[in-house]
Amino acid sequence: MRIYVSKEGDTLSGISKKYGFELNDLLTLNPHIPSPEINIPGINVNFPPFKRPIADQISVPVCPFDPSSEEMLEHWIPLTSLEQMAETDYDVIIVGTGAGGGAVLRRLCERWRNNGKRIGIIERGSLLLPTHVRNIPTMNNARFGPYFRGVSKWIGKSLPEFPGARELFALGGRTLFWGMSAPRMDVSEMTGWPVTEKEMDFYYKIAEQVMDVSNGYTKGSSFQENILNRLRYNGFPEAADVPTPADLVPTNYGQIHSDVFWSSISALAYGLNRKSFDLAVNARAVEVLVEKGKTAGIKVMSLDKKPYFLKAKTVVLSGNTFETPRLLLHSGIQGRAIGHYLTNHSFLLSTVKVSRKQFPEVLGPMSVMIPQTQSRPYQIQMGGPEGYLWYQRYEQEPLQDELSIGISAFGKVESRFENQVYLDPYKRDEYGVPEIQVQFSYSEKDKAIINQMASALTQVVSAMGASFHTTDSHPPICLMPPGSDYHESVTCRMGDDPSTSATNRYGQIHGVSGLYAADNSILPSIGAANPTLTTVALSVRVADYISNQLK
């Protein structure tokens, strides 16, 4: 109990008003004071432990406050447990949250809004990052590679013919780390596709909008202008800006634009604000459930290997080029082309230097490409200065006198039946699913393109006024091992003929109603362009088809 020593002029009644105590409480605790109205200078007054409720003392209403009943959200995106998902009948379940899965979800949420349809999406990995890694203030060029290697899985270790391959299991998939070159495929590449050029143009426009793709990222950079001009005047008139998915709108008027570089987390965010969906992470699809030719759902396992059966009329597999055929094959789904026609790019790397003295003081980033054309079956891309194509405003490394430029050249690889992903009959993973194995080789035509591309790369370097940077361990131009472009595609390609394609022209697995694929695996071919923009375009198209079917 607290004691107050009263002053001249104090009365118990006055103390009660001044300090907010009930007068009766004061009288009970202070029997030595005979009356509440008498002057009591220098007397010990016992105070009650609690004051009167504040509502009695002021005229402003008190806000309701009950900490125990406040709603809690434990993560930066709402999650649903697998137990709960197993109780729900879904209209659509999407497997995987990378480029393909994110695009399907975004489009379905946009089209369906509050029409009562139930969407579930499951992700094998965890909540690794809430945005593309380059949007994170602590990330820089030097930390990027080691971090990606640290969090991804080098599956190429056990794939002798595809040793460069890596998978990333996390919400957002590999779009958390991708390099964000988002060109369209050359129209010559689409000959023979089951989607017309006109329709592709329509869906490319949507994909570019979805991903904020533009040529604005390098706008105003004198380095960009300079290199473009050099290339255009020295034999490469088609040299162009690399289309880049970057939100270049500044944060203003309370609207935050912090996810500059696109990842499929942006697609999830867009969807979330238009329609609610159930998302489970650490949830690995292990089998597609099909009854009498119709999709019934998906078997999923949690991290502790507990099985759950999720019911859905429609399942969209967006696990990636390795995982989608793996699930189909493991589920006993028949199809001559499933897993076949594995296509990537042959991949040349080079680093070149240019003297900074050749350029005006105001530089800026440079990201330029020489695109594939009908007569040029490869794409050459260059970006720099090293460490400054993108960087955080907190970084403080001075530019060197010699500017370093990285060059990547991607060669077209034929989509051949014999290049394939198949189930390893001897090895299973910790979920009991057979491991994959890859059979891959370059054809004579592929090899000829690699040689052609290497000599073109030398011409490009000379046209830029640059010189090769060679060290004892690094030749001027080197061929990266298969799989290290991370562009592998086509293993469930779209087509009309079930003997040469795994899905029909809308991404539906031939012969199984309600079962779709939407990721790099459905691309009919990839030519020499980076594949992701096309994957997003075709995945949006798959979503449109599903949404029309389930009207």
Ligand X SMILES: Cc1cc2nc3c(=O)[nH]c(=O)nc-3n(C[C@H](O)[C@H](O)[C@H](O)COP(=O)(O)OP(=O)(O)OC[C@H]3O[C@@H](n4cnc5c(N)ncnc54)[C@H](O)[C@@H]3O)c2cc1C
List residues binding ligand X (CB under 6 A). 95-101, 122-125, 148, 169-170, 173-175, 177-182, 284-285, 318-321, 323, 486-487, 519-520, 530-532, 535
Quick one: the chain helix, strand, coil %, rounded to 5?
Answer: 30, 25, 50
| 3-class state of residue 164 by DSSP | coil
Please say which residue, 26 or 298, places its beta carbon nearer to ligand X. 298
For residues 47 and 4, the answer to whether their CB atoms sit within 8 Å is yes
Position with the least CB separation from ligand X: 98
For residues 528 and 217, the answer to whether their CB atoms sit within 8 Å is no
Please say which residue, 10 or 101, places its beta carbon nearer to ligand X. 101
Please say which residue, 135 or 321, places its beta carbon nearer to ligand X. 321
d(CA 23, CA 36): 8
Q: Give me the least distance between CB of 387 and ligand X, in Å please.
A: 16
Phi, psi of 176, deg, nearest 5: -70, -20
State the alpha helices, DSSP H only, in 279-424: 323-330
- From the CB of residue 124, how many other CB atoms can be counted at a distance below 10 Å? 24
CB proximity list for 428: less than 8 A, separation 6 or greater: 434, 435
Q: Give me the least distance between CB of 116 and ligand X, in Å please.
A: 26
Q: Give me the least distance between CB of 401 and ligand X, in Å please.
A: 29
d(CA 333, CA 293): 10
Please say which residue, 331 or 508, places its beta carbon nearer to ligand X. 331
Please say which residue, 314 or 321, places its beta carbon nearer to ligand X. 321
Of 100, 105, 176, which is closest to residue 134 (Cα–Cα)? 176
For residues 210 and 226, the answer to whether their CB atoms sit within 8 Å is no
Q: Give me the least distance between CB of 58 and ligand X, in Å please.
A: 54
Please say which residue, 185 or 466, places its beta carbon nearer to ligand X. 185
Q: Give me the least distance between CB of 408 and ligand X, in Å please.
A: 9
Please say which residue, 27 or 127, places its beta carbon nearer to ligand X. 127
Please say which residue, 124 or 510, places its beta carbon nearer to ligand X. 124
Q: Give me the least distance between CB of 155 and ligand X, in Å please.
A: 11
What residues pair up with 406 in beta bridges, in sequence order?
A: 351, 383
For residues 207 and 103, the answer to whether their CB atoms sit within 8 Å is yes
What tokens appear for 225 in the block? 């202008």
Q: Give me the least distance between CB of 332 and ligand X, in Å please.
A: 16
Q: Give me the least distance between CB of 139 and ligand X, in Å please.
A: 13
Compute CA distances 373 → 190, 379, 448, whole Å. 12, 9, 16
Please say which residue, 372 or 535, places its beta carbon nearer to ligand X. 535
Q: Give me the least distance between CB of 59 and ligand X, in Å please.
A: 56
For residues 518 and 504, the answer to whether their CB atoms sit within 8 Å is no
Segment 135-140 long-range contacts (CB within 8 Å, at least 24 positions apart): 135/258, 135/259, 135/260, 135/261, 137/392, 137/394, 138/392, 139/392, 140/387, 140/391, 140/392, 140/395
Please say which residue, 408 or 547, places its beta carbon nearer to ligand X. 408
d(CA 335, CA 285): 20
Of 267, 299, 295, 300, which is closest to residue 281 (Cα–Cα)? 300
